[in-house]
């Protein structure tokens, strides 16, 4: 294959996609374009930008060159056509749904989700008139049964937080296609290093950049990736994309922008008006973090499997939920969807229940007690009293965050030190 035709590998894309030396200064690192606005060449240039007749920079709320590098990099890693970086993972979900749903519409979501997403879907989205219908990823037929004429999307996590549940993406993607609605996958815990949901039927991928992509616990961000696979005009169900936009002189976004129309709609309709812009500084930090994503994720996975194996043999532990374990109910799905490793996040059920969980969290030294995952450092939390506290007891159990559960996000320290710290916590008096 000629060099001009060569498709770069994942490691190369993680470092180079979207970036090139700064043409003005020659700076090799992507500059932080810490500016609110950009100078137009002339009146005609400004008019063409505001009319979506040309691409370029207008105002950092809508787009920024530092953010553009991040967007192109993650889109390349996921195999999508375009990306849009926003202020957080939750902001990404709002922008996606605002582009897809009208008041009274429904979307189907997996019951196995991050507690904050469950809360957002159950409560905050109601103020927009968007209604969630829950389905069980352990019962694929429940997704099919949940489809109604009001359904506009299906939403799942590739690896569910906190329990490490592997979702059967291909099976649910088929249901979405049969229903004629886009399939949205939150790929935060897996990252494209472990799983590429677009290969299994995802039309839209979202991430909390805060977690493994950034990887260092120093920046909050989110991103939306357009797979370019959905026909937004087919059934006329998505007016934001298939009907003339009055604010842009009657342009029909899908007709004009084709297989990256969804990303454009999220930018020029959602981000422009709702405003959850990512700061250029955070985009710089997250892009830099992505350069080491393949190295970090493999170390995360290797350490996590060692820790899960050790914990499964401890007398204080009732069970370990980690799909990398051969005994785990999701192990077969893990071999299909995440063959390089099952991620860094696991849950542990302690025989002593709620009290044992809070004692472990308070007794470890190396682990940090924080409401985050995906850091280079090992992290620990008791979800029932923190991240999932807003849920009912039944919802906590359903989400894998019962009173006996402790969530671990295994870092890239020496695995022997991680295990020694957990032993200290488990045996503390």
304 and 264 inside one domain: no
**Residue 222, pLDDT score:** 98
If you write DSSP's letter for every residue of 286-338 in order, what string do you get?
HHHHHTTHHHHHHHHHHHHHHHHHHHTT-TTEEEEE-TTSTTSTTHHHHHHH-
154 and 12 inside one domain: yes
Tally: H helices and E strands in the chain: 18, 14
241 and 264 inside one domain: yes
For residue 303, what is the domain's CATH number? 3.90.1150.10
Residues 6+ apart with CB under 8 A from 382: 354, 357, 358, 360, 361, 405, 406, 407
**In this structure, what token pair is assigned to residue 229?**
């696979």
103 and 240 inside one domain: yes
CA distance 184 to 358: 35
**Residue 1, pLDDT score:** 42
305 and 262 inside one domain: no
Task: Identify whether 69 is part of a domain.
Answer: yes
159 and 239 inside one domain: yes
HEC-encoded secondary structure of 55-67: CCCCECCCCCHHH
**Residue 48, pLDDT score:** 96
**In this structure, what token pair is assigned to residue 363?**
């007794």
pLDDT (tens place) for every residue of the chain, 429 residues total: 455 678 899 999 999 999 999 998 999 999 999 999 999 999 999 999 999 999 999 999 999 999 999 999 999 999 999 999 999 999 999 999 999 999 999 999 999 998 889 999 999 999 999 999 999 999 999 999 999 999 999 999 999 987 789 999 999 999 999 999 999 999 999 999 999 999 999 999 999 999 999 999 999 999 999 999 999 999 999 999 999 999 999 999 999 999 999 999 999 999 999 999 999 999 999 999 999 999 999 999 999 999 999 999 999 999 999 999 999 999 999 999 999 999 999 999 999 988 999 999 999 999 999 999 999 999 999 988 887 777 788 877 877 778 899 999 999 999 999 999 999 999 998
**Residue 92, pLDDT score:** 98
Task: Identify whether 3 is part of a domain.
Answer: no
18 and 109 inside one domain: yes
Task: Identify whether 115 is part of a domain.
Answer: yes
Please state the separation of Cα 60 from the chain's center in Å: 22
Question: For the chain, how many structural domains are there in total?
Answer: 2
Last residue of a domain, one of 289, 319, 347: 289
> Helix or strand or coil: residue 407?
strand
CA distance 143 to 153: 11
Closest CA to 229 of 188, 192, 199, 195: 199
**Residue 3, pLDDT score:** 59
Specify the pTM.
Answer: 0.95
Last residue of a domain, one of 289, 315, 347: 289
230 and 298 inside one domain: no
275 and 334 inside one domain: no
337 and 201 inside one domain: no
239 and 212 inside one domain: yes
Task: Identify whether 228 is part of a domain.
Answer: yes
CA distance 98 to 95: 5
202 and 327 inside one domain: no
**In this structure, what token pair is assigned to residue 82?**
């375009």
Task: Identify whether 2 is part of a domain.
Answer: no
Last residue of a domain, one of 289, 309, 342: 289
Provide the CB-side half-sphere exposure for 408 (13 A, CA).
Answer: 33
For residue 79, what is the domain's CATH number? 3.40.640.10
Find the domain containing 412 and state its range. 294-426
Task: Identify whether 1 is part of a domain.
Answer: no
CA distance 383 to 396: 8
Task: Identify whether 385 is part of a domain.
Answer: yes
């Amino acid at each position: 294959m000629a060099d001009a035709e060569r498709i770069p590998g994942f490691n190369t894309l993680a470092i180079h996609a979207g970036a090139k030396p700064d043409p003005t200064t020659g700076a090799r690192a992507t500059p932080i374009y810490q500016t609110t606005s950009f100078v137009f060449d002339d009146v005609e240039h400004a008019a063409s930008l505001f009319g979506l007749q040309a691409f370029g920079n207008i105002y950092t709320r809508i787009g920024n060159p530092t953010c553009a590098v991040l967007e192109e990099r993650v889109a390349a890693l996921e195999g999508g056509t375009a990306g849009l970086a926003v202020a957080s993972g939750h902001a990404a979900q709002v922008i996606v749904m605002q582009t897809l749903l009208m008041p009274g519409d429904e979307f189907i979501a997996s019951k196995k989700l991050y507690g904050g997403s469950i809360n957002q879907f159950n409560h905050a989205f109601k103020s927009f008139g968007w209604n969630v219908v829950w389905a069980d990823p352990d019962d694929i037929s429940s997704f099919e049964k949940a489809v109604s004429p009001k359904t506009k999307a299906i939403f799942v996590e590739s690896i569910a937080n906190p329990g490490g549940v592997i979702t059967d993406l291909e099976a649910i993607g088929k249901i979405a296609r049969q229903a004629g609605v886009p399939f949205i996958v939150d790929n935060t815990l897996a990252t494209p290093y472990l799983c590429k949901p677009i290969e299994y039927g995802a039309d839209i991928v979202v991430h909390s950049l805060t977690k493994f992509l950034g990887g260092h616990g120093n920046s909050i961000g989110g991103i939306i990736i357009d797979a370019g696979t959905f026909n937004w005009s087919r059934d006329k169900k998505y007016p934001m994309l298939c009907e003339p936009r009055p604010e842009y002189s009657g342009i029909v976004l899908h007709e004009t922008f084709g297989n990256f129309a969804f990303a454009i709609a999220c930018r020029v309709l959602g981000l422009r008006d709702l405003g959850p812009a990512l700061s250029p500084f955070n985009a710089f930090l997250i892009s830099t973090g992505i350069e080491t994503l393949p190295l970090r994720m493999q170390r995360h996975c290797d350490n996590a499997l060692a820790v899960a194996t050790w914990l499964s043999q401890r007398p204080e532990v009732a069970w370990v939920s980690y799909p990398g374990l051969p005994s785990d109910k999701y192990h077969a799905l893990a071999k299909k969807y995440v063959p390089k490793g099952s991620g860094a996040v696991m849950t542990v059920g302690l025989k002593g229940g709620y009290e044992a969980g809070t004692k472990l969290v308070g007794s470890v030294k190396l682990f940090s007690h924080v409401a985050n995952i995906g850091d280079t450092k090992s992290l620990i939390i008791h979800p029932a009293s923190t991240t999932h506290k807003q849920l009912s007891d039944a919802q906590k159990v359903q989400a894998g965050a019962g009173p006996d559960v402790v969530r671990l996000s295994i870092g890239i320290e020496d695995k022997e030190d991680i295990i020694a710290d957990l032993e200290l916590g488990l045996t503390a008096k």
